[in-house]
């Protein structure tokens, strides 16, 4: 019996349009073409309208004379000799200043309120809840108006300034303040180390008594001296034009104190990183806080004494209907900072609360079983695990704070929007260029903030094997 060979029929190749990968490329290319066409049409239309209205385009205005002044400026700026480009940098620095300080303050306040909401203390928990519910449900612009018009503007005029002096107390000389601070620090260190220094309850009580006496004497001397100083000097004044502080002036050798302070900060950070690695490797703990205190406070104070105390102060004084001298912190800056800080802290508090609740209760129970108290448990066990949940929404709140700072124009704070998108745009008429630069700046700030927060998030992420 013969077999008839059968011919195998090859199936036809499917159309490329049925390939999901190819189809995705086609859709993306089509979308990119549409977006490019819309951008080209918008740019072409803008150029045509500008030419029709005989409005010059380009960035030639950047080096033209500004012709206006700005009250708060971190770099030299004047109406006669400064350009629009310098005005841009003034507004940018003011924006970065209020945003950076606001991020730090709102983080601390938000963490405190978030932890307070979970407190077993009924009063503290309810106060934190009321704060969060009220702050989050009021528009930020309304809160800025409240801080500026209802809190700061009703303050007395400069000739009737409120002499703060830290609530009625003068600020003693740096020498006495430093010596009392060192004495108080040593007394506190002695008190905390009493369990290790004493062999019996009687000796332990004696050590605590001595440290308490030293701490009390240092505090009394500082308060008495400051009370006397309050009668004979003045330096911290508050009125409806802002807060006036003494302006420090560095004499010969004063820069050495500043450099010592900065080097102390860097050295403290390096020592903290090293101490953490050593603790993870060997389990041994190092007194990071005391070392940092010595490097940042004690060492610059020692240099201050050795160099002959080359720091003097220019105090604000009444001159006509205003104050002259000192450092002026404008009410617009204070109102914006308070508004941004309190508003953002309400959202951060909820993020912190959610992050803590996301940690299993078994972690807390295990820490309690090991003998850890509530404070160390929260610091060493709960918060490190909660940070993995907290960081992503925390980044979003940081970005919102930076972008919300553009509301400063409502209360007259000279930020980037008020100075550049407001005054510069009105004087030059270069709307397209000015708005494009402003958008690029806020986009860059947001991307840089997200970049560093993502790095921090990766460091805190759970390492999987």
Partners of residue 314 on adjacent β-strands: 247
Q: Pick the last residue of a domain from 199, 227, 255.
A: 227
pLDDT of residue 95: 95
Give the 3-state secondary structure of 340-393: HHHHHHHHHHHHHHHHHHHCCHHHHHHHHHCCCCHHHHHHHHHHHHHHHHHHHH
Stated as kind and residue range, the H or E segment containing 243 is strand 242-245
pTM: 0.77
Residues of the domain holding 185: 165-227
Residue 176, domain member (yes or no)? yes
Least confident range of 130-139, 198-207, 355-364? 198-207
The chain-wide mean pLDDT, for the chain, equals: 82
Q: Is the pLDDT of residue 234 over 80?
A: no
Residue 374, domain member (yes or no)? no
DSSP 65: B
Q: Indicate the number of domains in the chain.
A: 2
Residue 345, domain member (yes or no)? no
Q: Pick the last residue of a domain from 52, 76, 97.
A: 52
Residue 123, domain member (yes or no)? no
Partners of residue 312 on adjacent β-strands: 249
Residue 348, domain member (yes or no)? no
pLDDT tens, residue by residue, 363-392: 888 888 888 787 778 888 888 888 888 999
pLDDT tens, residue by residue, 7-39: 555 554 556 667 778 888 888 999 999 999 998
Residue 44: pLDDT band (50, 70, 90) is confident
pLDDT tens, residue by residue, 131-168: 999 999 999 999 999 999 999 999 888 888 877 665 44
Residue 36, domain member (yes or no)? yes
Q: Pick the last residue of a domain from 52, 76, 99.
A: 52
Residue 439, domain member (yes or no)? no
Residue 40, domain member (yes or no)? yes
User: Exposed, middle or buried: residue 145 (CB in 10 Å: 0-12, 13-18, 19+)?
Assistant: middle
């Amino acid at each position: 019996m013969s077999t008839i060979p059968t011919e195998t029929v090859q199936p036809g190749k499917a159309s490329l349009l049925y390939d999901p990968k190819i189809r995705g490329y086609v859709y993306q290319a089509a979308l990119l073409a549409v977006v490019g066409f819309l951008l080209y049409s918008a740019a072409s239309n803008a150029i045509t309208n500008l030419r029709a209205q005989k409005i010059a385009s380009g960035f030639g205005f950047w080096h033209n004379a500004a012709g206006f002044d700005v009250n708060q400026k971190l770099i030299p700026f004047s109406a006669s000799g400064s350009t629009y480009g310098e005005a841009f940098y003034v507004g940018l620095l003011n924006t970065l200043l209020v945003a950076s300080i606001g991020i730090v303050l709102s983080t601390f306040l938000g963490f405190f309120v978030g932890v307070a909401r979970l407190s077993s203390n009924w009063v503290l928990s309810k106060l934190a809840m009321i704060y969060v519910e009220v702050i989050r449900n009021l528009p930020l612009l309304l809160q800025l108006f409240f801080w500026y018009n209802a809190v700061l503007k009703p303050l007395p005029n400069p000739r009737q300034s409120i002499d703060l002096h830290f609530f009625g107390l003068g600020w003693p000389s740096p020498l006495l303040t430093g010596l009392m601070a060192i004495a108080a620090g040593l007394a506190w260190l002695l008190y905390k180390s009493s369990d290790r220094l004493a062999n019996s309850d009687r000796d332990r009580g004696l050590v605590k008594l001595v440290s308490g006496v030293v701490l009390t004497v240092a505090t009394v001397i500082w308060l008495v001296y400051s009370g006397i100083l309050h009668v004979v000097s003045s330096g911290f004044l508050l009125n409806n034009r802002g807060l006036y502080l003494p302006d420090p002036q560095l004499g010969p050798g004063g820069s050495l104190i500043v450099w010592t302070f900065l080097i102390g900060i860097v050295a403290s950070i390096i020592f903290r990183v090293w101490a953490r690695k050593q603790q993870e490797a060997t389990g041994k703990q190092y007194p990071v806080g005391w070392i940092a205190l010595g490097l940042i406070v004690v060492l610059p104070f020692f240099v201050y004494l050795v160099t002959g105390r080359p720091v003097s102060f220019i105090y604000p004084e009444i001159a006509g209907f205003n104050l002259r001298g000192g450092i002026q912190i404008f009410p617009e800056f204070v109102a914006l900072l308070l508004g941004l800080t309190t508003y953002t802290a309400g959202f951060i508090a909820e993020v912190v609360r959610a992050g803590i609740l996301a940690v299993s209760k078994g972690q807390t129970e295990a820490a309690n079983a090991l003998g850890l108290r509530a404070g160390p448990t929260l610091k060493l066990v709960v918060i490190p695990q909660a940070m993995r949940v907290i960081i992503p929404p925390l980044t979003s709140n940081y970005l919102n704070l930076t972008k919300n700072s553009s509301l400063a124009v409502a209360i007259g704070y000279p930020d980037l929007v008020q100075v550049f998108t407001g005054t510069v745009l009105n004087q030059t008429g270069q709307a397209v260029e000015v708005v494009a630069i402003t958008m690029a700046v806020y986009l860059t700030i947001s991307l840089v903030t997200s970049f560093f927060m993502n790095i921090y998030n990766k460091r805190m992420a759970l390492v999987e094997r």
